[in-house]
């Protein structure tokens, strides 16, 4: 009797030991992989990464305001300044949310090579920069804001879809450089990420929705303004989804309307509620026209339904603008 009872117990014990050893082996292998990757990353970081093409050179100018804005563009995009590290684990993904509190997701990183061509045209996602629109679109934004100031086109400046606030910070800096105290910079964003789209309006929007990956809190965005000494009474925040904030926004007129909100609904709402407030001679800038078909369709639908025929000027591979003529 004792032998018969002992055998099942012995078998169960072996099974338990095998399972425990299997789990322990997996944990050990993962630990070794993490340590190896960390050591490899630190070793690689000691070796400078040669850029694929020469870095953009600052303009040689004696104009202090222009030099200030040139330097600001470099810093806001982290062009040539960005860290070569980015977190390997996304804390907002379901697995990252479980794992990151235990292992500290910021300590496990991967090497991110800087490519001047990508940052110039806003084709990468800088881990630490305040904007991802690149130098070309910042150059164009500077030209637009400078032009409405010089031509005295009435109205404030607004960006719909601000992310970390970099483009708005830059617009505020331009006003400061030109000592323009009459205009405000409006920062319109949900600060909770892209809203969940209605698939019946544009099915492609549903595939773009990332469920909060682009979420940056209003507190963090305000702190970014503070870091540049540009958070003051000329900066106003419109927190919430556009359908809730834009219809009753206390904006009398606009000289620059910048739309960077990805989805058909969001782009359409920005134009429907704000385009009528754009002054004649003012600029309408669309960030996602070339990159995201739903955003382009929204622009084309709005222009067609409202008889807008002004020429669309291309900035780079995705950004465009037009000047309101009537």
pLDDT at 228 over 70: yes
> What does the DSSP 8-state code read for residue 238?
E
Mean pLDDT throughout 214-231? 95
Residue 21 lies in a domain: no
The domain total for the chain is 1
Q: Which domain holds residue 251?
A: 134-323
- Let me know if residue 180 belongs to a domain: yes
What is residue 39's predicted lDDT score, i.e. its pLDDT? Answer: 43
pLDDT digits (tens, 9 = 90+) for 263-286: 999 999 999 999 999 999 999 999
| Residue 68 included in any domain | no
Average the pLDDT over 144-155 and give the result: 98
Q: How confident is the model at residue 61, as a pLDDT?
A: 80
Q: Which residues contact 21 (CB under 8 A, 6 or more apart)?
A: none
Tell me the pLDDT band of 9, cut-offs 50, 70 and 90.
Answer: low
| Mean pLDDT for all residues in the chain | 83
Residue 247 lies in a domain: yes
Name the more confident of 251 and 4: 251
Nearest CA to 121 among 56, 45, 43?
56
- Whether 176 is covered by a domain: the verdict is yes
> Minimal CA–CA distance to 258: which of 153, 133, 127, 151?
133
CATH code: domain of residue 206: 3.40.50.150
Residue 225 lies inside a defined structural domain of this protein: yes
Within a domain: residue 42? no
Does residue 40 fall inside a structural domain? no
Q: What pLDDT sits at residue 127? A: 82
Which residues are 117's β-sheet partners?
A: none
CA-to-CA distance for 77 and 117, rounded, in angstroms? 13
């Amino acid at each position: 009797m004792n032998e018969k009872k002992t055998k099942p117990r012995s078998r169960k014990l072996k099974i338990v030991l095998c399972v425990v050893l299997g789990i322990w082996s997996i944990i050990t292998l993962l630990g070794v992989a993490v340590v190896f990757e960390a050591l490899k990353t630190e070793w690689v970081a000691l070796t400078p990464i040669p850029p694929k093409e020469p870095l953009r050179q600052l303009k040689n100018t004696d104009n202090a305001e222009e030099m200030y804005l040139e330097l600001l563009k470099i810093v806001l995009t982290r062009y040539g300044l960005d860290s070569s590290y980015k977190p390997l684990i996304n804390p907002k993904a379901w697995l990252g949310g479980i794992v990151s509190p235990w292992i500290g997701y910021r300590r496990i990183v991967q090497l991110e090579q800087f490519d001047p061509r990508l940052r110039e045209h806003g084709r990468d996602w800088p881990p630490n920069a305040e904007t991802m629109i690149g130098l070309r679109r910042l150059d164009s934004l500077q030209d637009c804001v400078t032009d409405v100031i010089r031509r005295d086109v009435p109205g404030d400046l607004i960006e719909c879809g601000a992310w970390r606030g970099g483009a708005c910070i830059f617009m505020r800096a331009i006003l400061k450089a030109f000592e323009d105290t009459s205009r405000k910079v409006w920062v319109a964003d949900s600060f909770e990420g892209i809203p969940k789209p209605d698939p019946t309006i544009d099915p492609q929007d549903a595939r773009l929705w990332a469920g909060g990956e682009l979420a940056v809190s209003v507190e963090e965005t305000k702190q970014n303004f503070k870091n540049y000494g540009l958070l003051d009474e000329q900066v106003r925040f419109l927190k919430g989804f556009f359908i809730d904030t834009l219809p009753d926004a206390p904006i009398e007129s606009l000289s620059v309307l910048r739309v960077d909100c990805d989805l058909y609904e969001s782009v359409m709402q920005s134009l429907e509620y704000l385009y009528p407030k754009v002054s004649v001679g003012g600029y309408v800038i669309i960030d996602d026209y070339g990159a995201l078909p739903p955003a382009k369709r929204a622009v084309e639908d709005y222009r067609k339904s409202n008889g807008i025929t002004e020429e669309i000027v291309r900035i780079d591979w995705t950004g465009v603008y037009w000047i309101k003529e009537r």
